[in-house]
Structure 1
């Protein structure tokens, strides 16, 4: 009998242990929220139980694209404004963008030659018919742009990639001999390819390593307004395949990244089909660059999916997006959550495309677009200017826009708009080499993306665009936790490696 009692006790203990083993445990996490009600990257530590809960389940074993990074562009306008501020405020801004405690940007862009967010028109190759570019010089960048980049490099502990984008070749290389519009003359194709190589050399001498390039900012043009140069898909592909790619390779820069296209997402098909038309053209294109200006709300998932499927191993990077055609609203956080902003298309889009450009809330546009991109194979997302003034410039064409950080240099004041917080929700917590993972969500009113970082942690970004608070259970394997998110709010949930 004693023997049978011992067996019974063992069986009972085994059942209890197995029950404990499979019992759901509380999931450890940190939760950060930015909301219309006033939270700004606030860490939330207590949550109320709720009856009607959605379920968000994470599947880290099912992965998609690898993240290249998040960041913004170094422009002459931003750099010039920083030079007008006190050292304390300049440091505050650069720390906010590049320190680990700030946005910790990992992927950045800059313009080659001038752009609309420059003080004037200029080129590194000002001398006509200088086929060998003996007079090539980045002197124009020495006062503002290069010091800003160098200081950011000093602050960044993890480092960041930087790619260059030309808005135009110098006018003397173009068929219209003008800064705006026109095409690159075939006789200058080799000279223009050399220009990219010279740029790498010049920046390297300043201690700045260029990661790569987009071939041309907005090859469709920009309505004949500011610096631009037109390419068809075939013209750009021919230039890369027969001139730029081979030149960089010959000069020892074959490892530099070349991104094609670099304009709005609609119409991607014709570009990627041409870029990857053959093994010899695909060899030199490392990926595709895209912008968001086609719509204030539409992500164009079909176009993004097509671009990825056409070249699954290549980069797909959002290289520019901003609140355009708006003068910044100063120190009024609430405005950024309201559907009062308009974009270029609100006034100027063709009638058939007007529906793509309704009024919108700037915060919503950022959050929706970044999440939508990450859920459709985009691996990098780069904002436009880091810093602008209260007019939305300086901009030589008066093409006013909004940046996440607005400054008043006359009063030496800074305003971090809620757009800055939105960028931090992604850039600080989803790091380069992270992999986007599968998420199942029972509340379709919540927009969600998630990624597993190289250190094993998981970052989940949730956007509640609606006007009511939401409750949900977040599940990972046999662990879970109940969470609430405020109305009109974005949360980043960080789950440590288990």
Structure 2
């Protein structure tokens, strides 16, 4: 019995020690897996508008709640971010001039102020476009081969003051990409603003046109960061200002005329982006632009639009464009809710699948499936995240401000902007699209590196980037109608978060 008692005591002692050891190990593990310090901001169909969330229902004691994982790997880096923002158009600038000073300043601060969306990459038009009040060109005198009569006077009442006000409001500054919708009509084979092609004998004069534009804006105190050769070289159905190029024709212009001209005039640092139309055409264009060292020399990258589909962001095409020239820019220069009169002060509409685009009525039968009804917020969030996860480094919205009709627009091509105004009653409506854009532009800054974010929930879209200051911004989109729970992991740090149905979150992890 004595031996049995000793044995029992020994076993009890071993068990106690083992339990203590396990307890110490568990405690050590809990200490090792520390709580992540992060700020969470959400915009949702339920009413959040970049609202900071501080409390989340945990799923630890509820086995019925499924918790997914988002694991961040900052050591796996991809493209460097150029920026996010919107476009300065004559329509937007004209509307700002119709508002009270208080509301004008409110909008400028909302887009460019440090407490606002902090836009860092923008676009504007060279001469008129559909979102101008009428047709005009900076070079109206036919066969003025030296462009002696070149003038940007049309921009001095509205467009230039808007840009200058934005520059004053922006602490970090922003880049501007400028795009012509057409050359002066007298340089084209049809002598019209709409359609036609640039006559080869005017290749050098058209190149001079860009150089004159850059000088004129610089004289106003505005530096243009980049240009595209023309907006939508495939045309737009002969509706508004346009000019057609094939990939080979544009490459010839840039390689042998525009690039050398800007270089000779001391403007070689201005970025030249090719193409500037829908993503499905990327392969055809980069194959010509980047055919060899000579053809690609003056191209700094490719510009793309999203109008090919309301739901497909064309990841294969984006990857092809990147792989063809990994060190060049891949920038979305235009996207908007097009062919649609905006809803006024109706947040719910922006979350419902009721919007239609041009393709709803006009797409060919084989492409009809690409243009179903859609929810505007979903389209923006899905597209920007999809782009960031497929090498796109910049994303630019179209008009910053439109009126209740979706204009003004000389062609009556109505569209939606993130901010809608009623100039007659001096009212401003910040639509959910404004907050959607801010989730990216405010928190993912120029110079940020897109990093790896492994997500186990196929119903969530996720992207992440590490900013130059070391902070990490994670954007999560829940398009579904059920709340989702996920565990965000960075090394040994963890934060359990829930995201509302139909919601977009940006999570900022401190350095």
Query: Please, which of 464, 469, 474 is the counterpart of residue 450 of structure 1?
Result: 464
Q: Does 1:29 align with 2:38?
A: yes
Task: Could you tell me which runs of 5 or more consecutive residues in structure 1 were left unpaired when the two chains were aligned.
Answer: 1-7
Query: Please, which of 66, 69, 77 is the counterpart of residue 91 of structure 2?
Result: 77
Query: Please, which of 362, 365, 386 is the counterpart of residue 351 of structure 1?
Result: 365
Q: Distance in 2 between matches of 1:478 and 1:34?
A: 28
Q: Distance in 2 between matches of 1:221 and 1:398?
A: 17
Which residue of the partner structure matches residue 3 of structure 1? Answer: none
Which residue of the partner structure matches residue 497 of structure 2? Answer: 483
Which residue of the partner structure matches residue 4 of structure 1? Answer: none
Q: Distance in 2 between matches of 1:43 and 1:305?
A: 34
Which residue of the partner structure matches residue 187 of structure 1? Answer: 201
- 1:48: how far off? 1.2
Paired residue total: 485
SS at the partner of 2:212? helix
Q: Distance in 2 between matches of 1:349 and 1:163?
A: 29
1:77-115 CA distance string (max 9 Å, x none): 000000000000000000000011100000000000100
Which residue of the partner structure matches residue 5 of structure 1? Answer: none
Which residue of the partner structure matches residue 301 of structure 2? Answer: 287
SS at the partner of 1:216? coil
Deviating above 3 A after TM superposition, structure 1's stretches of 4 or more consecutive aligned residues are: 15-18
Which residue of the partner structure matches residue 14 of structure 2? Answer: none
Q: Distance in 1 between matches of 2:256 and 2:31?
A: 61
Pairs within 5 Å for 1:128-167: 128-167=142-181
Pairs within 5 Å for 1:295-306: 295-306=309-320
Which residue of the partner structure matches residue 71 of structure 2? Answer: 57
CA contact (8 A) 1:22 1:478 kept: no
Which residue of the partner structure matches residue 9 of structure 2? Answer: none
Which residue of the partner structure matches residue 96 of structure 1? Answer: 110
Q: Does 1:172 align with 2:186?
A: yes
Q: Distance in 2 between matches of 1:130 and 1:345?
A: 40
1:298-353 CA distance string (max 9 Å, x none): 00000000000000000000000000010010000000000000000000000000
- 1:17: how far off? 12
CA contact (8 A) 1:24 1:479 kept: yes
Query: Please, which of 325, 340, 343 is the counterpart of residue 339 of structure 2?
Result: 325
Give TM-score scaled by structure 1 length. 0.96
- 1:267: how far off? 1.9
SS at the partner of 1:268? helix
SS at the partner of 2:284? helix
Which residue of the partner structure matches residue 81 of structure 2? Answer: 67
Which residue of the partner structure matches residue 50 of structure 2? Answer: 41
SS at the partner of 1:177? coil
Pairs within 5 Å for 1:267-416: 267-416=281-430
Which residue of the partner structure matches residue 10 of structure 2? Answer: none
CA contact (8 A) 1:406 1:415 kept: yes
Compared with structure 1, are the counterparts of its residues 301 and 16 closer, same or farther at alpha carbon in structure 2 (3 Å cutoff)? closer
Give TM-score scaled by structure 2 length. 0.94
1:229-269 CA distance string (max 9 Å, x none): 00000000000000000000000001110000000000211
- 1:19: how far off? 2.8
1:116-157 CA distance string (max 9 Å, x none): 000010000000000010110000000000000000000000
Which residue of the partner structure matches residue 119 of structure 1? Answer: 133
Q: Distance in 2 between matches of 1:42 and 1:163?
A: 31
Query: Please, which of 190, 210, 214 is the counterpart of residue 200 of structure 1?
Result: 214
- 1:23: how far off? 2.1
1:245-297 CA distance string (max 9 Å, x none): 00000000011100000000002111001001111121100000000000000
- 1:163: how far off? 1.2
Q: Distance in 1 between matches of 2:488 and 2:186?
A: 59
Q: Distance in 1 between matches of 2:226 and 2:68?
A: 43
Q: Distance in 1 between matches of 2:30 and 2:427?
A: 56
Flag the structure with larger Rg: 2
SS at the partner of 1:336? helix
Query: Please, which of 258, 261, 265 is the counterpart of residue 244 of structure 1?
Result: 258
CA contact (8 A) 1:163 1:210 kept: yes
CA contact (8 A) 1:264 1:291 kept: yes
Which residue of the partner structure matches residue 235 of structure 1? Answer: 249
Please provide the CA RMSD for this pair: 1.3
Q: Distance in 1 between matches of 2:148 and 2:32?
A: 73
1:25-48 CA distance string (max 9 Å, x none): 000000000000011110000111
